[in-house]
Chains A and B, each alone.
Chain A
């Protein structure tokens, strides 16, 4: 059967997935803390051509079966840090993530973002997931400060001394690209990423906290537009291959008229 047609189909499928990935990146080009997705192309398994019965001396050759995207992974290249001067905007400068507690008790990680003080006074993400450590902010506290080393302090009275309320740790992973994104800029540890290694910010390669800053999306618009153009061209080339295969089959059908 005509393999060129199936090869072309794999090409179209792969480039379609590529376009979807690029589109997702582009729609999230201003989402704070968003990490762009990248696709990995691979050529598909090879089949041997049928044994040449006329000339046994000539070796058989292997033909390909197309292309596929074997995984879509996240790029954890740091995004730019943008100053917002909002006291509860926390960005991580350097490597690592902060641990948060999900409603079902499981653990997730985030690169920071806009924090808020929950109804129960616990320092949480903007979606309400408390940061690990359960840092309690007393009602009426002012000047909530997160130092670069993760120490959280606040003033309980207008001119009073800042009181230490807790510490935030930075978690590092052997393979940060292996983290599984679960939406809302949260990630889960997997077997591939390795276990989270909590540590003090600024030590052993861990990043530090920057209060009043937000990490913007690490999507590079120029790169993504180029990827989009390449994907479109590659898709139309696969279509041309399919059309050529179709023409061949049409010629074969018309070998005998009537």
Chain B
């Protein structure tokens, strides 16, 4: 996009960038709203990046004057706020109270999750709802025999009276950069410090719900829609004034 003196065509292009950004924002709100019932879901928060700052970074040595415009592109980051803890009554459902995430052996390495609806796979291992093994302090947790598994408040996984292992919960730190691996799993490049035994507080028979606030999300949806509408009016009006200019100039 060339930066020349501001004109009407630029107005259309700029509004177009904003409209694309809001369209993505709508998809993000939609994603959040349909995942109201997904346990452990962390809402996506759209970030509308100021176009001026992006441009200033890219075109540092341009002699032409910069145009100041509201937004250009959007990105979405995860809001790690804890969701409500809801009762399910299922023995292998666990919710973490306070800090800490479960460590999971995913297909391509270690991942972390807050979603605790665990089950047992055909090899008797404690696994996530997708079948990835849940890590204990001594690695994978495997049951033998048919006594049902149960998990205690401080993370001990027992089969009857026998202690199999203790769940490994880690603290990723407040400033950890998390990479989304989908289905409630996250990867972290930073350090993962295991929680001390006394710090582990779980609630069995409960699950952490989605942290999406339906009312807030609907309001954001409505706001996004109206802002999109406003920009589409900018495009329409620019188009009309261009049409008038061409006609009038053509009449000469």
Contacts and interface: CB of A to CB of B under 8 A. Distances in A.
Interface string B63-98: 000000000110111000000000001100000000
B157 interface: no
Contact of B148 (A7, A11, A61, A176): A176
Contacts of B36: 230, 234, 237
Contacts of B33: 11, 234, 237-238, 240-241
A89 B110 CA distance: 51
B201 interface: no
A177 B160 CA distance: 18
B136 interface: no
B49 interface: yes
Given A64-B28, A66-B31, A177-B119, 9 more contacts: A4-B23, A18-B37, A41-B39, A70-B129, A174-B124, A234-B36, A237-B214, A238-B33, A248-B225
Interface of B: 1, 19, 23-24, 26-31, 33-39, 41, 44, 49, 54-55, 57-58, 72-73, 75-77, 89-90, 117, 119-122, 124, 129-130, 143, 145-148, 160, 180, 182-184, 214, 218, 221-222, 224-225, 228-229, 232, 235-236, 239
B187 to A, nearest CB: 12
Contact of A237 (B28, B58, B218): B218
B38 A42 contact: yes
Interface stretch (A23-31, A52-60, A116-124, A143-151): A52-60
Contacts, number: 180
B75 A4 contact: no
8 contacts: A8-B34, A18-B37, A41-B35, A57-B57, A64-B31, A77-B89, A194-B124, A230-B36
A245 interface: yes
A57 B214 CA distance: 34
A106 interface: no
A86 interface: no
Most chain A beta-carbon contacts within 10 A, residue among B77, B89, B222, B224: B89
Given A4-B26, A55-B58, A255-B232, A64 B122 contact: no
B66 to A, nearest CB: 14
B148 A62 contact: no
A227 to B, nearest CB: 9
Contact of A175 (B121, B221, B232): B121
Contacts of A256: 239
A49 B35 CA distance: 20
A76 to B, nearest CB: 9
The 8 closest A-B pairs by CB, nearest first: A11-B34, A172-B146, A64-B31, A61-B75, A175-B120, A241-B30, A7-B30, A4-B30
A252 B148 contact: no
